[in-house]
């Protein structure tokens, strides 16, 4: 889907990030009013559920495509804008989701990613 044009691994604000590709968007299995985004990196996958934004008729405005960093924060995962090679302030999920879906480059903090990509593969019982 979308991929950030950056090195495979980079450091922002003394944290290690990996370039991520948005692989799929589907309903969140835990909450039907949320969307689950699955990101692929060179070391594995990471999934995050976002509240589905309300449909606003007549707002054909496209979201900004400023790069976004997904980080492990004090209260769990958070999205941050990337500005001038550093992490900006945290974004609300309602602001981050349209940015990601409209093609913003995404970096995922290394410690959020499962090291074993086969953990995401379901096997028949």
Note the pLDDT tens digit of each residue in 27-77.
999 999 999 999 999 888 999 999 887 765 555 555 667 899 999 888 888
Strand partners, 91: 79
**Residue 29 falls inside a structural domain:** yes
**Residue 2 falls inside a structural domain:** no
**Residue 3 falls inside a structural domain:** no
Range of the domain at 96: 9-52+63-116
CA-to-CA distance for 84 and 108, rounded, in angstroms?
A: 17
Q: Domain count of the chain?
A: 1
**Residue 124 falls inside a structural domain:** no
Model pLDDT, residue 7: 54
Percentage of the chain lying above the pLDDT 70 cut: 74
**Residue 4 falls inside a structural domain:** no
């Amino acid at each position: 889907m979308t991929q950030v044009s950056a090195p495979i691994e980079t450091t922002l604000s003394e944290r290690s990030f990996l370039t991520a590709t948005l692989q799929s968007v589907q309903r969140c299995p835990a909450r039907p009013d949320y969307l689950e985004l699955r990101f692929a990196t060179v070391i594995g996958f990471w999934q995050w559920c976002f509240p589905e934004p309300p449909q606003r008729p007549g707002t054909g405005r496209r979201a900004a495509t400023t790069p976004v960093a997904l980080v492990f924060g004090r209260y769990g995962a958070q999205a941050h804008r990337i500005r001038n090679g550093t992490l900006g302030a945290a974004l609300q999920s309602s602001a981050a989701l349209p940015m990601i879906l409209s093609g913003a480059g995404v970096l995922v903090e290394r410690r959020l990613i499962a090291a074993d990509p086969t953990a995401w593969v379901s096997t028949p019982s």
